[in-house]
């Protein structure tokens, strides 16, 4: 319908002598149904080139609009807005579209099956996943779902470091526990991990257990002095723990990548040499520097430290070179806000290496902190983790659905307060309950009706003329645009907000009208409308990875 109205306005503007290349047409949904189905500010945009009053231009545009089978009337509002009111045929068409497309309603082919990689979670295997990882998991998985719904060929990837200082501290911590030492012992590693999970790893190691994670299998030697065996086992053990957390969160990955592999396969060294060959590096103070200021950074960055070893952004550059070589036209990294400082230098490294990577590649979505509240007080500790609230804690407290919804329902770049009491509440104040209840409510009505869904094809939709029906029809018609915009803006919270509005429209309709009325034609029309609403609720919840229960 937007395309149809855009064409009408384009033809009208041309008739006024305006070159179509000199303007763009923006059509939006008015906040109130009283202002029509679509509104445009085109008359205001043409005021300068035509040197006329916007209202006068709006009047001329309306007179010049070609005839349409879908527009009931057109009005001028305010300083020159043009409001379109659609007729019943146009409004009701969305029901047939939903019925025909089913689970794919709202999807499009904009991505044209181009390859996109979404990297998210990417937690180092040093402990259970915390709530920050959980937010990254929820947002990242929703992004992957949205991109797939918009026609992209999506690969989900998990990248982690299985070596370095943090893994050394993990190894030393497990080694100490295997020797029977507690964190209070004077020889326990000062930077060691003190959570109860370290005890579990040590016991499993001493028992010679075999651990199978998604990307590896390791059998413990049981030798308390074999630090390399302890390291490999501890990493595999915690990767398996993370796998279990992700399974409980209903998230799967296609690829696991190890930072150590970038070194063992020579990819870091080859990337560094390519940067040297590009002429964008220099030696100073016994260190190797990258001239990131050539690419917009505020200062140059050290690549190889004076004492040897590469700074942390260097393997990131090598990793993204590999992503490019794997054919990903687009890469999206969902990470915590603490990664903000790496964006400029990684992009600078990719530009410096000069292998055709476009500027601004990759995309980043950075999420802010999560504060967990219960009973009005912040929850800071988990007994198992020792120093933070785990993702598993939340899932066990409120369930997977509420956890996923709450972690994805706000803009990723805004801080999030996760209220456990609200997430558990079975009231309309709990948005995920409110949305799921709307779906279950429709299922209950359809069950009471007991009719054959195929008969809804012949429903006389012209009977849907009540204000609540018009509002619900308009909301359903918005879904496809919301899905596209949410993917374009990498903003899954837009789906969550839409679903709350759709649920509100449904509940208002339920309270205002009877569905199972004596008038069989009207009843069939209303069954068709709420059946379509049920489908859209389900499709939207699926984009968030949240279930659509039929009973509550």
Residue 284: how many other CB atoms lie within 10 Å: 10
Q: CB under 8 Å, gap of 24 or more: what pairs does 42-49 form?
A: 42/9, 42/13, 42/82, 43/76, 43/80, 43/81, 43/82, 44/79, 44/80, 44/81, 46/13, 46/16, 46/18, 47/80, 49/18, 49/22, 49/23
Say if residues 290 and 303 touch (Cβ distance below 8 Å).
yes
Q: Residue 180, by phi and psi: left (phi above 0), alpha (psi -120 to 50) or beta?
A: left
Print burial letters for 203-216: b (CB count within 10 Å at least 16), e (below 16). ebbbeebebebebe
Q: Is 448 exposed, middle or buried (CB count within 10 Å of its CB: 0-12, 13-18, 19+)?
A: exposed
**What pLDDT, on the 0 to 100 scale, is given for residue 18?**
86
Strand residues in 343-466 grouped as ranges (E): 363-367, 370-374, 377-379, 416-419
**What pLDDT, on the 0 to 100 scale, is given for residue 151?**
98
Task: State the residue for tokens 């030798």.
Answer: 223
Say if residues 435 and 500 touch (Cβ distance below 8 Å).
yes
Is cis: bond before 362, omega within 30 of 0? Answer: yes
Q: Is the dihedral of CA 504, 505, 506, 510 positive or negative?
A: positive
Q: Is 68 exposed, middle or buried (CB count within 10 Å of its CB: 0-12, 13-18, 19+)?
A: middle
**What pLDDT, on the 0 to 100 scale, is given for residue 216?**
83
Say if residues 370 and 134 touch (Cβ distance below 8 Å).
yes
Closest CA to 30 of 21, 22, 20, 41: 41
- Separation between Cα atoms, residue 282 and residue 302, nearest integer Å: 10
292 is written with which tokens?
């990131």
What residues are paired with 288 via a beta bridge? 283, 304
- Separation between Cα atoms, residue 188 and residue 235, nearest integer Å: 20
Q: Residue 122, by phi and psi: left (phi above 0), alpha (psi -120 to 50) or beta?
A: left
Say if residues 155 and 253 touch (Cβ distance below 8 Å).
no
- Separation between Cα atoms, residue 109 and residue 407, nearest integer Å: 28
Domains of the chain: 2-86 (3.30.1360.70), 165-253 (no CATH), 429-543 (1.10.730.10)
| Strand (E) or helix (H) holding 282 | strand 281-284
Closest CA to 404 of 239, 241, 237, 548: 548
Rg over alpha carbons for the chain, rounded to the nearest Å, is 29
Task: State the residue for tokens 């800071």.
Answer: 380
Q: Per-residue pLDDT for the chain (552 aa), expressed as one digit of tens each?
A: 888 999 999 999 999 988 877 788 999 988 877 888 999 999 999 998 899 999 999 999 999 999 999 999 999 999 999 999 999 888 899 999 999 999 999 999 999 999 999 999 999 999 999 999 999 999 999 999 999 999 999 999 999 988 788 999 999 999 999 999 999 999 999 999 999 999 999 999 999 999 998 778 999 999 999 999 999 999 999 999 999 999 999 999 999 999 999 999 999 999 999 999 999 999 999 999 999 999 999 999 999 999 888 998 999 999 999 999 999 999 999 999 988 889 999 999 999 999 999 999 999 999 999 999 999 999 987 766 677 899 999 999 999 999 999 999 999 999 999 999 999 999 999 999 999 999 999 999 999 999 999 999 999 999 999 999 989 999 999 999 999 999 999 999 999 999 999 999 999 999 999 999 999 999 999 999 999 999 999 999 999 999 999 999
**What pLDDT, on the 0 to 100 scale, is given for residue 388?**
85
289 is written with which tokens?
């520097």
**What pLDDT, on the 0 to 100 scale, is given for residue 383?**
65
**Residues written for the chain:** 552
- Separation between Cα atoms, residue 485 and residue 497, nearest integer Å: 13
- Separation between Cα atoms, residue 163 and residue 155, nearest integer Å: 25
Q: Give the strand order in the sheet containing 153-160.
A: 255-258, 153-160, 115-119, 330-336, 363-367
């Amino acid at each position: 319908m937007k395309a149809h109205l855009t064409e009408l306005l384009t033809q009208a503007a041309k008739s006024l002598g305006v070159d179509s290349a000199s303007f763009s047409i923006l059509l939006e949904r008015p906040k109130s149904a009283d202002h029509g189905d679509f509104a445009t500010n085109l008359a205001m945009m043409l005021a300068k080139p035509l040197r006329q009053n916007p209202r006068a231009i709006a009047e001329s545009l309306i007179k010049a609009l070609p005839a349409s089978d879908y527009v009931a009337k057109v009005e001028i509002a305010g300083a020159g807005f043009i409001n379109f009111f659609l007729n019943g045929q146009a409004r009701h068409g969305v029901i047939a579209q939903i019925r025909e497309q089913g689970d794919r309603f709202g999807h499009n082919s904009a991505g044209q099956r181009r390859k996109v990689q979404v990297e998210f979670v990417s937690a180092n295997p040093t402990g259970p996943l915390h709530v920050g990882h959980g937010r990254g998991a929820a947002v990242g998985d929703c992004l992957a779902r949205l991109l797939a719904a918009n026609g992209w060929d999506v690969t989900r990837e998990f990248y982690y470091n299985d070596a370095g200082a943090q893994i050394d501290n993990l190894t030393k911590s497990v080694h100490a526990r295997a020797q029977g030492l507690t964190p209070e012992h004077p020889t326990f590693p000062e930077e060691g991990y003190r959570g109860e999970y370290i005890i579990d790893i040590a016991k499993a190691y001493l028992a010679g257990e075999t651990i199978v994670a998604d990307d590896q299998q390791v059998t413990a030697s049981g030798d308390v002095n074999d630090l390399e065996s302890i390291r490999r086992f501890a990493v595999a053990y915690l990767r398996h723990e993370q796998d279990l957390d992700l399974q409980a969160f209903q998230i799967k990955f296609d690829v696991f990548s190890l930072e150590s592999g970038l070194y063992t396969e020579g990819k870091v060294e080859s990337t560094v040499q390519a940067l040297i060959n590009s002429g964008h590096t220099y030696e100073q103070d016994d260190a190797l520097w990258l001239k990131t200021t050539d690419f917009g950074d505020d200062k140059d960055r050290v690549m190889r430290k004076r004492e040897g070893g590469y700074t942390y952004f260097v393997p990131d550059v090598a990793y993204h070179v590999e992503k490019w070589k794997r054919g990903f036209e687009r890469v999206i990294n969902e990470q915590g806000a603490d990664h903000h400082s790496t964006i400029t230098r990684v992009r600078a490294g990719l530009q410096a290496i000069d292998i055709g990577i476009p500027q601004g590649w990759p995309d980043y979505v950075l999420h802010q902190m999560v504060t967990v509240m219960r009973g009005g007080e912040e929850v800071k500790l988990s007994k198992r983790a020792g120093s933070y609230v785990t993702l598993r804690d939340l899932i066990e407290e409120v369930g997977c659905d509420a956890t996923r919804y709450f972690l994805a329902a706000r803009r990723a770049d805004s801080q999030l307060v996760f209220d456990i009491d609200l997430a558990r509440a079975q009231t309309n104040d709990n948005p995920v309950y409110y949305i799921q209840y709307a779906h279950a409510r429709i299922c209950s009505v359809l069950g009471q009706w007991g009719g054959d869904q195929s008969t809804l094809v012949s429903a006389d939709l012209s009977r849907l003329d009540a204000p609540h029906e018009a509002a619900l029809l308009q909301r359903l018609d918005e879904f496809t645009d919301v899905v596209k915009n949410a993917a374009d803006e990498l903003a899954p919270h837009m789906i969550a907000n839409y679903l709350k509005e759709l649920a509100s429209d449904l509940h208002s309709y339920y309270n205002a009208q009877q569905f199972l009325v004596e008038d069989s034609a009207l009843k069939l029309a209303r069954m068709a409308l709420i059946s379509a609403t049920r489908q859209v609720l389900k499709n939207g919840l699926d984009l968030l990875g949240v279930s659509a229960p039929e009973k509550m």
